[in-house]
Amino acid sequence: MQIVLVEDNEGDVFLVRRALNRQAAPYELRLARNGEDALGIVAENGIGQRPDIFVLDLNLPRFSGGEVLTEIRANPVFNDTPVMVLTSSDSSRDRVRALELGADRYFCKPTDLAAFMELGRIIQDTVREGRRKPPMPLPH
């Protein structure tokens, strides 16, 4: 499983790796520590190994997660690539906006370690399910 993790918090990177390791499934993690690095990965257009999933924080330096998500969805190479938003924001507004921009899943970082460890299974399930049908636009 090829995963692009866009996350600037070292502690969260550690927890994501730990959650994935608990699943005992082979994976390769490519890390982008800010929005600019993530946009560089998107600009590569899947050269080399195309990721099976993007796991994307919303609150990033240099470019926001929303801007990165917009670029992922604008790139036809990644039409079928699922995107999971991984964020500390439990705001319904952020959730709706992420889904409008094309996120397939929204995972709010829990404060409980056991709940965070579920992330590995959820990532695997999201890759297995593949890209969801884009949501219907919400009325404004």
User: Is residue 140 in some structural domain?
Assistant: no
Is 138's pLDDT higher than 50? no
- Domain span holding position 10: 2-129
CATH number at residue 17: 3.40.50.2300
Is 133's pLDDT higher than 60? no
User: Is residue 134 in some structural domain?
Assistant: no
User: Is residue 42 in some structural domain?
Assistant: yes
pLDDT in tens, 10-66: 999 999 999 999 998 899 999 999 999 999 999 987 666 789 999 999 999 999 999
User: Is residue 135 in some structural domain?
Assistant: no
pLDDT in tens, 88-128: 999 999 999 999 999 999 999 999 999 999 999 999 999 99
User: Is residue 136 in some structural domain?
Assistant: no
Q: What is the mean pLDDT of residues 132-140?
A: 51
Is 140's pLDDT higher than 70? no
Q: In this predicted structure, what is the pLDDT of residue 132?
A: 72
The pTM of the full predicted model, rounded to 2 decimals, is: 0.90
User: Is residue 74 in some structural domain?
Assistant: yes
Q: How many domains does the chain have?
A: 1
Task: Say how far apart CA 124 and CA 23 lie, in whole Å.
Answer: 8
**CB 41, CB 91: distance < 8 Å:** no
Q: In which residue are the tokens 């993007």 written?
A: 54
User: Is residue 137 in some structural domain?
Assistant: no
| 3-state secondary structure string across 57-87 | CCCCCCCCHHHHHHHHHHCHHHCCCCEEEEE
Q: In this predicted structure, what is the pLDDT of residue 44?
A: 87
Q: In this predicted structure, what is the pLDDT of residue 26?
A: 93
User: Is residue 138 in some structural domain?
Assistant: no
Q: In this predicted structure, what is the pLDDT of residue 19?
A: 96
Task: Say how far apart CA 52 and CA 1 lie, in whole Å.
Answer: 6
